[in-house]
Amino acid sequence: MAIISRKPRNPSLRFQTYVDTSDLTKKAPEKSLTVGLRKHGGRNAYGRITMRHIGGGAQRKYRIVDFKRITRDIPGKIVAVEYDPNRNVRIALVVYSNGAKAYILMPQGLQVGDKVMAGKAVEAKVGNCLPLRSIPVGFTVHNVEITPKSGGVFARSAGTSVQLVAKGETHATLKVPSGEIRMVHLDCWATIGTLGNADHKNITVGKAGRTRRMGIRPTVRGMAMNPVDHPHGGGEGRTKSGSHPVSPWGKGAKGTRTRKRTNPLIIKRRRP
């Protein structure tokens, strides 16, 4: 997929870029695999904002993606490639030989008409889902479970993959996209291949209105506020005041450790 630039007919189009959508084969989603999506505006059950800069956005429906690959040992055929507004990777509509339908994340190298299957003894090829104990060392995988039967949580965004570095008696060693090296139980399942739409990270949004349609609200700098609103606020001119950058509530904002994390399954942290 390529990055497409618009003709600069007006200032808002001058720097905007898009990902080529010629790979999409179906516009409307499968009705049986969609549910309504309710927006919360970054608020919790008490109505308090717990995530700032979230709100609005274009209406969308949620596509039910099969992260667990629950249809096992039954061959399926990819019949369509679709856009999903809830994630940056394409999704594929799979129809299994028993009539079941499901959405899966679309890896590189797959196309309409290809066969995929999930099972303990299936071939380790792109799109197939297997337990880690059945996948050869050195393969790249995505949609990896962190605990058995939990559904994939690692490497689910565009262009990402996890490398299977080694296997022991009970655990496999994985190198995840952040650079972290960790161990996962061999009974966890993963899908072979690297996810597609890797050019998504090179998109230039180009204008504020486009981010608002994504559901992202404006972010105001702390230095532009008053002292009552932010620790960085106030002063007759711009000043850093010699202190470390903090959040509006005084917590370190750039890499400050706020709690001690211990996990024996993590061999190497993403940050030393």
pLDDT digits (tens, 9 = 90+) for 113-136: 999 999 999 999 999 999 999 999
pLDDT at 172: 96
Identify which has the larger pLDDT, 163 or 238: 163
Residues 6+ apart with CB under 8 A from 165: 137, 173, 174, 175, 181
Residue 58: CA count within 13 A, CB half-sphere: 9
The amino acid sitting at 143 is N
With bands split at pLDDT 50, 70 and 90, how would you rate the model's confidence at 236? confident
pLDDT at 139: 97
Q: Is the pTM value of this prediction over 0.75?
A: yes
Res. 43: pLDDT tops 80: yes
CB of 91 within 8 A of CB of 65? yes
CATH number of 3-201: 2.40.50.140
Taking alpha carbons only, the member of 217, 225, 265 closest to residue 248 is 225
pLDDT at 241: 72
